[in-house]
């Protein structure tokens, strides 16, 4: 099946991914590599069917339907898409409070 969409990682999503990999690699470099590969692999699947992710529930309650998420447990890949591209916005740990993480990102603290 041919890819229709191009996946683009935002700087914020890339930083999230680096933090995840660095944290996991403290215990196991092998595990960190596997997680990195898994997150990239799942994100790349969005090139064919970006609608597969659900609308982010926290945004849906606010009537914001343009943000979707792909759950790769325990992480959530937050994204939006247009006619040609999938824009990966964040990779967050689902065990943390989504609103707190979002507020820190908006406020620019960079501490996730």
Among the residue ranges 15-19, 51-55, 60-64, 81-85, the one predicted with the least confidence is 60-64
- pLDDT for residue 111 is more than 50: no
The neighbouring-strand residues paired with 92 are 76
For the chain, give every domain's residue range: 6-107
Check pLDDT > 90 for residue 89. Answer: yes
User: Which residues, other chains included, contact 79 with Cβ-Cβ below 8 Å and sequence gap of 6+?
Assistant: 46, 50, 53, 67, 68, 69, 70, 86, 87, 88, 89
Give tens-digit pLDDT for 54-73.
Answer: 999 988 888 889 999 999 99
Mean pLDDT for the chain overall: 89
What are the pLDDT digits (tens) for 27-50?
999 999 999 999 999 999 999 999
Which pLDDT belongs to residue 19?
94
Question: Binning pLDDT at 50, 70 and 90, where does residue 101 land?
Answer: confident
Indicate the CATH number for domain 6-107. 3.30.2310.20
Asked whether the beta carbons of 89 and 76 are under 8 A apart, the reply is no
Q: What is the CA 55 to chain-centroid distance, rounded?
A: 13
**What is the pTM (predicted TM-score) of this model?**
0.85
């Amino acid at each position: 099946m041919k890819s229709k969409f191009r996946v683009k990682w935002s700087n914020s999503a890339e930083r999230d991914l680096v933090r995840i990999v660095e944290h996991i690699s403290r215990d196991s470099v092998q595990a960190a590599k596997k997680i990195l590969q898994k997150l990239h692999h799942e994100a790349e699947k969005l090139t064919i069917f970006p609608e597969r992710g659900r609308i982010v529930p926290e945004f849906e309650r606010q009537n914001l339907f343009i943000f979707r998420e792909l759950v790769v447990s325990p992480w959530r890949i937050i994204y939006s898409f247009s006619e040609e591209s999938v824009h990966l916005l964040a990779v967050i740990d689902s065990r943390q409070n989504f609103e707190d993480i979002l507020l820190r990102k908006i406020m620019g603290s960079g501490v996730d």
